Structure 1
Amino acid sequence: MGFKTGDFPPVDPESFLRKPLLERTRTLALHWVEYGFGTPKMIHTTYVVKLLVLYVLGGTAAATASSGAGPFWDVAHWWNVPIVYEKLVLWTVLLEVVGVAGSWGPIAGKFKPMTGGILFWARPGTIRLRPWRRVPFTNGDTRTVLDVVLYLALLGCLAAAVALPGDSSDLVDPALLVAVMILLVLCGLRDKTLFLAARGEQYLPALVFFAFLSFTDMIVALKLLIVVVWVGAGLSKMGLHFSHVVAPMVSNSPSVPARWFKRAHYRDFPRDIRPSKVAGAMAHAGGTFVEIVTPLVLLFSTDRAVTLAAVGLMVVFHLFIISTFPLAVPLEWNALFAYATVFLFWGFPAQDGYGVGDMSSPLLTAAVVAGLAFFPVLGNLRPDLVSFLPSMRQYAGNWASALWAFAPGAEAKLNSLPHRPTTNQVDQLQAMGYPAAVAEITMQQTIAWRSMHSQGRGLFSLLIDHIPDLDRWTVREAEFACNSLIGFNFGDGHLHNEDLINAVQSRVGFAPGEWIVVWVESQAIHSGVQHYKVIDAALGVIERGTWRVADAVNAQPWLPDGPIPYKVTWSAPGARQPSERREDGTGSGASGASGASDVRTPA
C-alpha cells in the first residue's frame, strides 16, 4: 500500500457486486489475508500523530504542569510521581469520553465525521441504551437534556481534575474524584454506551483507589487492578476463538509488510485460510502465555532483574498491539498500560514494600481481589449479563456479534433517523468522493473480516437459511454499523442487540422482512456452544438456537460446504421451521451456499 493510496481489492466494482454474496466474501477474505483493509498509510500516520501529540505530549504536559512535576520533557523527574500517573489516567478517561481516543476515525468505521462520542452524547434526542431496565429513572431510549447536562458535567469535572494545581507529593483532591465517579455512574446507568466508552470497568476502580486508600494500599491495589485486567484477558484467550483473531489482525497490520509472513498465519492460502500453527503460536505463546504468566511474575517478583525483564516484556506487548492498529484502535489505552507497567512495577517494586503482602489488612486485599474479579467471573459464566469489556475478554475473539441484512433499498431508511449527527457509512464514503460501487465494496470488506472470525461462519449460515434471495440484500457488519447510530463501537454486541434495534425501529419503522439481524452471544467459559437469535426489526426475535463453536472454527469463511450445523431451540409462532427452509438438505439461501448435508431441525 502507498502513503495516500490504499490496496483496493483487484475487482471490477460493477461486475463484482453482481456476484453471489459468498463468492464476494471469498474474494474479499483472500484479499484481506495479504492486505487487510488496505488502508493507506496516511491514515495510520494520522493515528500516530494523534497518539503522540494529543495524548502523549498533551497529556504529559497537562499532568506535569498542574502537579509541580514538570517540565514534561524531563521524564526522569516525573515518571514515578503518583499524581502524574493519576492525572494521566484522568486525561485518558477525558479523551475516551469525548470520543477522540478509542473507537475513533476511519479504522473504527468513522469516516465523516471521524469523531462519534461528543457529537452524539451532547445532543438531546439521540439514542441511549440503558444497561438495566429495573433501575429507577432510566426508562426510555432517548437522550434528554438531563443526560446532556450530566455528560457535560462529567467532562467538566475530568478537565478540572487534570488542570487544577496539585503538589507532586500529594494526589488530586478526592472531592473531585468523587464527583467524577458519581457522574460516571449516573451517566452509565442512563446509557451503558458512555460508561463502556470511558472504560469505566478499569478506570473507575482506579479512581476509587486514588480517592480512598492510603499510599501503599493504593499502589498495591493498582497493581492488582492491572494484573486482573491482564490475566483475565489472557484466560479468555484460551478457547478456540483467539487464533482466528490473530491471523486477520496480523494481516491488517501496517507494521507487517511481508505478504509471505501474513500468508504463513493461514493453513494453505488460498485454499484453506483457517489459522495455521504459526497463528496458534503467535496467539498462545506470544499472547495467552505472556498475558497470564508475565503479570504474575510482576506481581510477586522480588528480584530486580526478573522484574525489569517482565516490565520490558509487557511494554513490548502493548507496543505490538499499538503497531497492529486493531479495528477498535485502543491506542491510548495500550500506551497508558505500557507506562503503568513501568510506573507501578519498576517505580514501586515488591521488594521495596509494595508487594501484595504489604497491604494494611488481609481483609482489604481479599476485598480488592474479590471486587476486581466479580465481573470477569460473572461475565465468563453468564456472558448475557455482562459486557465483554468488564468480563476482561479484550481481543479474545469471544464476542457477541451480529450481521445486519437489509432488503434492497431498505438501509437508506436509517438516514431518516432524527437527531443523528451522521449518515450510514456507505454514504459517508460517497460524501468523501468514493464512487457508489467502491464505497459498497469497502463496506463489504468488513463482513469478509467478520467471516474470518469464528462467529462469522455461524452468522452467515443463519442468513443463508433465513433469506432465500440473500444475494440481492445489503449485508452489514453490526459492530461497524452501530457506531453511526450511537457514536461508539468496541466489538461488543450488547451495544447492538434488541435494545438498539427497537430504538431504531420506533423512530424509523421498518416493514416486516426489511431489516433482519442475526445476533450471537459470547461463549460461556463452561459451554461448547454459542446462543444465537434471529431478529426481524418489525417483529422482534423470531428464532433462538445454538451452534457448536467447534463447527464454526472448522469452517472456511465462505462456507464452501454449506452452512454450519445449528440447533433451533425456539421459533416464533408462524415462523418458517428449519425443515421448511431446507427440505432438500441443501438450503434455500444464497447461491454460493450449496452442498450442506445436514438438515436443521427444531429441538
Structure 2
Amino acid sequence: MGFISPSPQPVPPAEFLTLPLRERIRILSTNWADDGFGTPKALSLVYVIKMLGLYFAVGLAITAWTTQYVHFTDPGSWFDNIVVYQKLAIWLMVLEVLGLAGAFGPLCGHFAPMLGNVRYWIRPDTIRMAPWGRHVPGTGGDTRTVFDVVLFLAVLASLVYPLVISAEPVQFLPAGTGPQELVPPTAFIPILITMPLMGLRDKVIFLAGRSEQYLPIMLFSAVFGGIVMSSGADAADFVNLVVVFKIIICVVWIGAGVSKFGEHFINVVPPMVSNSPGQFRAVKRLFYRNTPDDIRPGKVAWFMAHIAGTTVELAIPLILLLTTNNTIALLGAILILAFHIYITSTFPLAVPLEWNVYFGYIAIVLWVGFDTSVYNIWNFSQPWLLIPVFALLCFGPVLGNLRPDLVSFLPSMRQYAGNWASAVWAMKPGVEERLNELPLVENQIDQLQRMMLTPYERDDADMTLQKTLAWRSMHSQGRGLFSVLHEHLDDIESRTVREGEFVCNTILGWNFGDGHMHDERLIAAVQKRLGLAPGDLVVAYCESQATPWSNPPQQYRVIDAALGVVERGSWNVSDCVKEQPWLPNGPVPLAVSWTADGFRRRETLTGGRHHTGEGSMA
C-alpha cells in the first residue's frame, strides 16, 4: 500500500466485476490475507493522531484543567489519581457518541465524509431503531423526531457537564495514598437518566456511546463515589470505590475471554492481523495454512487465538482481581497493556482504537498507581455489596450468551469474538442506487468516487467495497450466509451483494458489528420508504451462536424486504469452518426449520452435498 494511495487491485476492476461471485470472493479473500483492506498508510496515521491526540492528549488536558492534582506537564500525576479513570471514560463516551472514536472513517464504511453518528442524530426524519417499540409506550416508530433530536442533545449536555465540572477533593484516604479527587457524584445523574431514555427511543445511540462499558463506571461513581464524599465516610469507602472500578474492567476482559470459546474466534485473528499496516507479508502468511491455496487458520493463528488471546483475557484479569501482591499486579498490568497495544496495531475494522488505549492505560492506573496490597477485593469493607455489583455487571454477558437474540453482542461482551449476528444483502440492479432516497444516505460506491485525496473510479470503488464481502467470508458466519444466498438466489450473479454492516452504516450512521441493527426491523423501515417489489432486496441474516462452547447449530433467516422473513433454519458451525471462504465445494448444508406460507425452495444437489429445503427465490 502507498502512503496516500490504496494498494493496487489484484486484478483489473473491469475484469473482476465480470467474474462469478465465488471467484470474486476467492480473489479478494486471498488478497486480504496478504494485504488486508489495502487502505493508504496516511489513513493509519489519521487514526493514530485521532487516538493519541484527540482522545488521549485532549482528554488529559481536560482532566488537568478541571482538577487540582493532575497536571498535563507532569506524567507522574496521570497514573495515581483515580479521577483520571472517570474523566477519560466520560471524554471517550463523548467522542463515541459524536462518531469521533470507534466506527469512524473508512475502516467502518464512512468514506466521505468520515463522520457518521452526530450528522444523523441531529437531523429529524432519519431512521431510528427503538428496541422495544411495541412494548414500551411512547417509543414506537422508526422515524427520528424533533423530540429525539432534543433528547440526543440532552445526552451530549449530560456528558459535557461531568467532563468540565471541577473535581472535588476526597477527605478520607488510606495511609500512603496521595491526594485524590472525584467528579462530584451528582454530576453523573443526568447522563444516567438521559442515556437510558435515549436508548428506549433509539438503541443505536445507546450502543454507539458504548453504554455497556461506561455507564457502569458512571453509575458506581455516583453510588460509591457518593458514599466516599459523604460526611460519614472513612478511608475504607475509597478503597471500595477503587476496587469496584477494578471489578468493572475485569468483568469486561473476562466476559470477552469467555465469548471466545468455540470455533469462531480462531477465524477472526488471521484477517485482523492481515489488516495491520505495520506487519510484514511473511508474518501475515504464518497465520494461514498455505496462502493462497488454503487460507483457513494455521497453527500460529491457533496459538494467538487460544493462548495469547483467550487465555490472556481470562487468566490475567482473574489474577489482577484476586492478587494482593504489587509485583504480580505490575506484571499483569504490563501484559494487559501489551495485549491492547497489539490489538490496536492491527487497525481492526470498526476501529475500537480509543477503547483499547483507555483499557490498556487504565490497567496501569488501577494496578500500578494504587497499592495493590491495600486496593484489592479482599479489603472490600462490605462484601455483601459485591453481590449486586457482580450481578449487574454479569447480567448482559450471561443473558447474551444464553439468548443472543435478546442482547446485542456489545453488552454480551463479545467484542471481536467472531460470534456475531451478521447479514449480507443481495439487491437487484438499481436497488443500491435507490438507497440514496433515504434521509442523509449516500451509498458507499458514490462516497468512494468523491474521496478527497484518492477518488476511485466506479469499477474500482465497487471492487474495493466487495473486499468487505471477502472479509466477512473469512469468518465462520460468512460461509453460512453466502451458502444461504447461493441456495436461494438463481440470479445471484446479476445482483449487487453487500456486507450488511457497511450498508447499515450508511442508513443509521453507525454500526459496530451488531447485526441486530440491520435485521428485519431495519429492512422493514427501508421497505416502508422505498416500496420495493418482492425479490428486489433479499437478506441472509444469522444470529450469534448461543452457548458456543456447546456448539449448537447457528440459526439463520432469510428476509425479503417486501415479504418479511420467508425462511428460518440453521447450519453447523463446524461445517462452515472446514470450508474455504469462497466455498469451492458448494454451500454448506442448511437445515430448514420453517418457511412462510406459499414460499417453497426446491431440493437441490450442490457441490456433491445434499441440501434439503422448501423453495427457491429468483
Q: TM-score range by the shorter chain?
A: over 0.9
Give 1:504 shift. Answer: 1.1
Q: Secondary structure at the match of 2:158?
A: helix
Partner of 2:117: 117
Distance 2:71 2:367 in 1: 24
User: How far is the alpha carbon of 1:350 from its aligned partner?
Assistant: 3.3
* 8 Å Cα contact 1:464/1:563 also seen in 2: yes
* Equivalences for residues 43-442 of structure 1 within 5 A: 43-133=43-133, 134-167=135-168, 169-213=180-224, 214=228, 215-256=238-279, 258-352=280-374, 354-417=375-438, 419-420=439-440, 422-432=441-451, 433-442=455-464
C-alpha contact 1:522 1:530 (8 A) present in aligned 2: yes
Task: Report deviation, 1:71.
Answer: 2.8
Any idea what SS the aligned residue of 1:598 has? strand
CA contact (8 A) 2:132 2:140 kept: no
Residue identity opposite 2:243 in structure 1: V
2-structure distance, mates of 1:89, 1:60 = 11
User: Which amino acid is the alignment partner of residue 243 of structure 1?
Assistant: I
Query: In the alignment, residue 342 of structure 2 is paired with which amino acid?
Result: F
Query: Which of residues 500, 523, 545 is equivalent to 1:501?
Result: 523
Structure 1's unaligned 5+ residue stretches are 587-594
Partner AA of 2:557 in structure 1: K
Between stretches 325-334 and 212-221, larger displacement belongs to 212-221
State how far apart, in whole Å, the 2-side matches of 1:327 and 1:295 are.
25
Is structure 2 residue 464 aligned with structure 1 residue 453?
A: no
CA contact (8 A) 2:35 2:274 kept: yes
* 1:531 alignment partner, SS class: strand
Q: Which amino acid aligns with 2:37?
A: F
- The match for 2:173 is none
Residue 430 (structure 1) shift: 1.4
Cα distance, 1:82 vs structure 2: 1.7
Report the secondary structure of 1:351's partner residue: coil
TM-score (norm 1): 0.95
CA–CA distance in structure 2, aligned partners of residues 167 and 356 of structure 1:
25
CA-to-aligned-CA distance 1:54-95 (integer Å, 9 cap, x gap): 111111000111112343121112422122221111111111
Partners of 2:533 and 2:519 in 1: how far apart?
19
Say whether the 8 Å CA contact 1:528–1:550 is kept in structure 2.
no
User: Would the aligned equivalents of 1:69 and 1:84 in 2 still touch at CA under 8 Å?
Assistant: no
Partner of 2:181: helix, strand, or coil? coil
1:67/1:84 contact within 8 Å kept: no
Does structure 1 conserve the Cα–Cα contact (< 8 Å) formed by 2:551 and 2:573? Answer: no
2:34 aligned partner = 34
Shift of 1:173: 2.2
Deviations 1:140-198 (A, max 9, x none): 01111111111111111211211122235432222220001101111111111111111
Deviation at 1:527, TM superposition (A): 4.2
In 2: Cα distance, 1:148 partner to 1:219 partner: 36
Report if the CA contact (8 A) 1:569-1:602 is conserved.
no
Q: Which runs of 5+ in 2 are unaligned?
A: 170-179, 229-237
Q: Is the 8 A contact 2:162 2:188 kept in 1?
A: yes
Counterpart CA distance in 1 for 2:423 and 2:608 is 22
Structure 1 letter corresponding to 2:445: V
Contact 1:9/1:28 (8 A) holds in 2: no
- 1:548 matched to 2:567: no
> How many angstroms apart in 1 are the aligned matches of 2:247 and 2:161?
28
Question: Which residue is equivalent to 2:19?
Answer: 19
SS in 2 for 1:541: strand
Structure 2 distance, partners of 1:475, 1:90, is 39
Residues 1:345 and 1:578: Cα distance change in structure 2 (over 3 Å)? farther
Q: Once the two structures are superposed, what CA deviation does each residue of 1:253-283 show, in whole Å capped at 9, x if it has no partner?
A: 1121x21111111112221111011101011
Counterpart among 502, 523, 531 of residue 555 in structure 2:
531
Cα deviation, residue 349, structure 1 = 3.8
Aligned residue number for residue 235 of structure 2: none
- Report SS of the residue matched to 2:557: strand
What is the distance in 2 between the residues matched to 1:295 and 1:349? 17
In 2: Cα distance, 1:84 partner to 1:374 partner: 27
TM-score scaled by structure 2?
0.93
How far residue 374 of structure 1 moved from its aligned partner, in angstroms, is: 1.0
Asked if 1 retains the 8 angstrom alpha-carbon contact of 2:488 and 2:601, the reply is: no
SS of residue in 1 equivalent to 2:156:
helix
Q: Which amino acid aligns with 1:328?
A: A
2:611 counterpart SS class: coil
Measure, in 1, the Cα distance between the counterparts of 2:407 and 2:345. 29
**Correspondence for 2:233:** none
Q: Distance in 1 between matches of 2:40 and 2:78?
A: 37
Kept in 2, the 8 Å contact 1:519–1:532? The answer is yes
For the residue of structure 1 that corresponds to 2:484, the secondary structure is helix
Secondary structure at 1:402 match in 2: strand
Q: Please give the per-residue CA displacement for 1:222-261, whole angstroms capped at 9, x wherever unaligned.
A: 11111110011011112100110000001111121x2111
- Counterpart in 2 of 1:589? none
Matched residues in 1 for 2:390 and 2:611: separation?
48
Whole-angstrom CA distance in 2 between matches of 1:489 and 1:349: 39
What is the alpha-carbon distance in structure 2 between the residues aligned to residue 340 and residue 559 of structure 1?
43
> Within 2, Cα distance between the matches of 1:602 and 1:15?
36
Distance 1:88 1:128 in 2: 28
Computed over aligned residues only, the root mean square deviation of the Cα atoms, in angstroms, reads 1.3
> Which range is displaced more, 210-219 or 163-172?
163-172
CA distance in structure 2 between the aligned counterparts of 1:602 and 1:261, rounded to whole angstroms: 46
Provide, for residues 363-398 of structure 1, a one-character-per-residue CA deviation record: whole Å limited to 9, x for no partner. Answer: 201111111111100000000000001001100000
Contact 1:356 1:365 in 2 (8 A): no
* Contact 2:326 2:372 (C-alpha < 8 Å) held by counterparts: no
Contact 2:10 2:27 in 1 (8 A): no
Q: Is the contact made by 1:300 and 1:350 (CA closer than 8 Å) also made in structure 2?
A: no
> What secondary structure is seen at the aligned counterpart in 1 of 2:423?
strand
The reply on whether 1:472 has 2:494 as its aligned counterpart is: yes
Deviation of the 1:487 alpha carbon: 0.8
Aligned equivalent of 2:176? none
Q: Percentage identity across aligned positions? A: 52
Residues in 2 aligned to 1:62 and 1:362: alpha-carbon distance in whole angstroms? 35
